[in-house]
Each structure stands twice: as C-alpha cells, then as structure tokens.
Structure 1
C-alpha cells in the first residue's frame, strides 16, 4: 500500500492533525514553517477517537493560516469532516472573501447539508463550481477528498468516503489565490462562519485519487548496479491519472503518455533480477521514490520504486 506518509514525502504541501492541546496548529511536515494562528476553535476528540480535532461553533470560531496564496497548479485536499445541521451556507475553508472581485477557492456547506467546491481563476471568472449530489448526515464523520490538476479542460473531482461523487471540467486554470487560507470562515473577512468538526487536513501539490492511497507498491531490485528502467517492448509507462481511469475516459479525459512505447504484454515482476531497457525519450532511469503506472493483469496499477541498486 502507498501510505499517507509516502505520498506526503512525494507530494506533500502541509499536513495538520490538530493534535496540539491548545493554541496554534502546526504542519506535521515541518518543511516550510506553516502554522495556523488565532485559533478560536476548540479541541475535541479526533475522527478516529484518537488525538484531537477542531470544533467550530458556527458564529465566531476560525483559524488563520500563514500560507495559501501559493497554492498554484495541481492540488489535492483530503480531510475528515463532521457538519452541524445549520440552515445557512457556511465556509469550511477559503482563500478569498468575494468571488466577484478576487481569485481563489472555497469549500462551503450549503443550505441543505451538501458541499460545494468553488474555484475562481480571476475575479468573477470561475474555473468550476462542483457540487456534491447528496446530503451529508449531520454529526457523522466523512472522509472528503478534492482533486484537480489546475489545468483548463481537465477534470476536478470530489470524493466522499473514497467514492467519486462529482466531477466537472475546468474552464480556467488555477492562478493562485487572493489571500492565505482561512478555516471556518471566508478569508480576510469575519463572516461565513462554519459549524462542525475538522480533522486530518492533508494538502498535496499533485492531483490524487483514493486509489493512490491503496494501489500496489512494488519493491524492485536490479543487480550489478543497473538502473531500473522499463522496456518499450514490454509495456508502456503512463502518467498517474487524477481519478479512476475508466471514469476519466468516460468523461472525455485523456491519459497522457510519458514515453514513446506502445501497448505490450504486462511486465513480469516476479523475476527478481530482470533488467529492463529505458523507455523515456530523455533516457532518464526511474530512480528510487519515483511513481509510475504499469499493467498488472487487465488493469493499470501504481507502483513505487522503493529500492533501485
């Protein structure tokens, strides 16, 4: 399995567990000194009954992050959420406070307890508006994942409890945001308050899908200090798609080839000392930690090179 830790090491921007007993919240990656200040939300039991989550009262609780305007290009947000039953639109997080004058994004809970993910490339220029089709039951935990590669014409996806519930084609690119990220309200404005719980906020600079957390992970060794590469006579290498391949293709999406190979029978990874030729045009070997897709049986699976020596 590809664990959260492994994906964070590869694509992580920030990871907030909210397990501090009080006060500021800190990025567990610790790479860029990302921190949430002015934390008026209170701590309560975490989503898995372990550690803490943040509880927002819907009237005055929020967190101000010191980053967010830098979230350009590819993005994935994954988090655990529990909503309260309030009959108004509330903002779980946002990087703007006025879509008609600012670029940025927000995730809001609408009246009727559905979710909406909005993205604006410029003032009043929506990239997409993505709605969940069904209600969330108040006071129940949900695993929510939002994913988009930031490009015009590609698909933004919303997953709830690992199921793809909504997908839409983006009309404009991700051009960044007006302000830094705020949780529990609109950014740079004291309104749009949200009531509920939030835990395990993960942010990636790669468009991921739930399957990326579950795919097979191969440990592949070569001998005689040979670089591990894939043969153009055995298989093709493909860019990891941001959603299930068959769903993306059904919606008119394209899987981009990253090599010059053609379809061939699957590679036999049962041979521990098999050596493969290089397929990429730039003749660069696939080194340790690189992720790629290969055919296994009748399906493509994600593989990570753990060892290459």
Structure 2
C-alpha cells in the first residue's frame, strides 16, 4: 500500500490536477502539458482547487503525449457527468477504431461507462462496460487498469469497487494519436459534457488496494529487534496508536520467529516473505525493518516512530 505520491514516484507517467486558473494544464511531474485548452475551470471534485468543465459542444484539451502508452497502464480520475443521453468521449487516443489503434473512455446512452481498446485498426483488445449506471451531477472516482497483455484481465473500478472486468484478446500496442480530453483524438467529434479532475496515469497495472494506507502498530521482544541499512527505501507509516485500539479495530499481533537483513521490497507487489509479530509490548526502534502479514497479503514496513 502506498500514497498517490509514492506510486507516482515509482510508476507515474503524468498527473494533472487542473488547478491552473486559465490556459494550459501542467503535469505535476513536470513532464507534459495540455494545450489548446477550451474547457473552463470550476470547483474541484473535493471543493478544493479547480476541475475542468466541458460544455459538450466545443470544449477539449490537446495533450502532448499519449501515443506511446503501450504495455501496462492505469488511468485514474474524478468525473461528474451532466444529464445527457448521447455517447460522450471523456478522453481518447484515436478517433476511428476501424482504421486506428488506441483507446477511448466514454459514457454511452443509458449512463453506463465504457473503456474501448484496439491493438491495431479494427482489432479490438477489449470492450469493457461498467456493470452499473452512474448518476448525473455526482462525482465518481474511476480507475481503469490493464497489464497490456493478450489473455489478461482489464478492470474498471468505480469508487474503489470493481465495476467491470473483461479478458483482453490482443496486447496494448500504443495509439494512433496523442491523448485528447473532452472528445475523440485528432477529430472534432464526440464532445463530452461534464467535469474532470485529478487525472493520474501510470505505466503499471494497479488496483484500489495499492492506494490504501493501512495503519499498523508493531511490537517485538528486545532480543529480536531488526536493523537494516539506513539507505533502504522501504517506508511505511506507523502511527502513535495504543495496542488495545489496534486490536479493537481488528489488528493481529503475533510473534517474530526470525530476523535477517533483506534487500528492498516493492510495497505495491505481493511477497512471500513472512515473519510473525509478537504481542510483547516492547516496541521496535526507529528504522527497524520487518515483514508482516496484512490480511491475505504480506508487506514490508519500517518503524518511523516509537510510542
């Protein structure tokens, strides 16, 4: 589990907050820019900062990247649709699936969401529809994820819940054009009416659980403290929480049976390494490292504070 900032540092392609007052939109990573911005600004999804507002007839943003988004991909964003029964394209990297490769994300008639992906002209990788309808004028957190391989599953999440899954028939071979927001790419058609905010793009297939930060309290006996290199990049928040509170919230405390140095472990991946954690009340010291089972998964953590 990690923060958005941590995942961006590791897998981020671009991150747009759309908080500029007017004009071009700028990637928080400092890599890309959106130009020809005809969409206007309005209040952001969390009532902080701005979001882009599209009028459904002429508003769009042209990005200077997107055609090379091949392989693994996650796109996460906040969206609020207007009341409209037309098919509207929120973003796209092609304009005609019969002649071009690429993807688009749209709202179709009946207020369901659809993610289309084509590996080559008229060669669909998948067509993924949401299993539930969305309500106009309500903000949604939407996440699209696929590892880009033929035979693997592409997923759509709405408000962190799985809303659709489909098996890809072909791989992600990139796109015909750069990303366009508010319409089809390289074509003045398919206009979107509504708001868009917090657009995040990753070159890794992620799930909502990768963005969660679980709160842990870890303790060990004095003779089983773990010490790793101070240059290790593994970091996890350990809050100042009493043990009884953690147990009341469903936490599990078990015994450490071994302690060895290990190379850094990627927080966003599963690992089979596993050490049990004791219910002894003596805390590990700052900078100590260990692995711990969290539900059905195993993660590595660093003690940042004693209490």
TM-score using structure 2 length: 0.77
* Cα distance between partner residues in 2 of 1:269 and 1:293: 20
Please tell me whether residue 275 in structure 1 is matched to residue 273 in structure 2: no
Secondary structure of 1:196's partner? strand
State the shift of 1:85 in Å.
1.4
- Sort the Cα spacing of 1:17 and 1:108 in 2 relative to 1 into closer, same or farther, 3 A: same
Are the aligned partners of 1:66 and 1:180 in contact in 2 as well (CA < 8 Å)?
Answer: yes
Work out the CA distance in 2 between the residues paired with 1:190 and 1:141.
26
- Is contact 1:293–1:300 with CA below 8 Å preserved after alignment? no
**Hey, what does 1:301 align to over in structure 2?**
297
Q: Which residue of 1 aligns with 2:113?
A: 115
Distance 1:123 1:50, change over 3 A: same
* Higher gyration radius (CA): 2
Q: 1:216 to 1:302 in 2, by over 3 A?
A: farther
Aligned residue number for residue 241 of structure 1: none
Give yes or no for contact 1:218–1:303 (8 Å, CA) kept in 2: no
Aligned residues of 1:61 and 1:193 also touching (Cα < 8 A): yes
**SS of structure 1 residue aligned to 2:38:** coil
Unaligned runs of 5+ in 1: 229-267, 277-284
Q: How does 1:200-219 map to 2 (within 5 A)?
A: 200-214=198-212, 216=214
Match of 2:7 in 1: 7
The structure 2 residue matched to 1:223, chosen from 224, 227, 244, is: 227
Q: How many residues are paired up?
A: 259
Q: 1:2 to 1:270 in 2, by over 3 A?
A: farther
8 A contact 1:215–1:303 mirrored in 2? no
- Structure 2 equivalent of residue 186 of structure 1: 184
Correspondence for 1:23: 23
TM-score (norm 1): 0.77
Does 2:68 align with 1:70?
yes
Question: How many angstroms apart in 1 are the aligned matches of 2:294 and 2:267?
Answer: 23
- Matches of 1:227 and 1:219, distance apart in 2: 23
Cα distance change, pair 185–288 in 1 and its aligned pair in 2 (3 A) = same
* Distance apart, 1:10 and its partner CA: 1.2
Tell me what 2:91 maps to: 93
Distance 1:304 1:2, change over 3 A: farther
| C-alpha separation in 2, matches of 1:151 and 1:217 | 34
1:135 Cα deviation from its structure 2 partner: 1.4
SS in 2 for 1:292: coil
Q: How far does residue 64 in structure 1 lie from its aligned partner after superposition?
A: 0.1
Assess if the C-alpha contact under 8 Å between 1:219 and 1:304 holds in 2.
Answer: no
Residue 223 of structure 1: CA displacement? 3.0
Gaps of 5+ in 2: 219-224, 233-252, 275-291
Of 247, 264, 278, which residue of structure 2 is paired with 1:287? 264
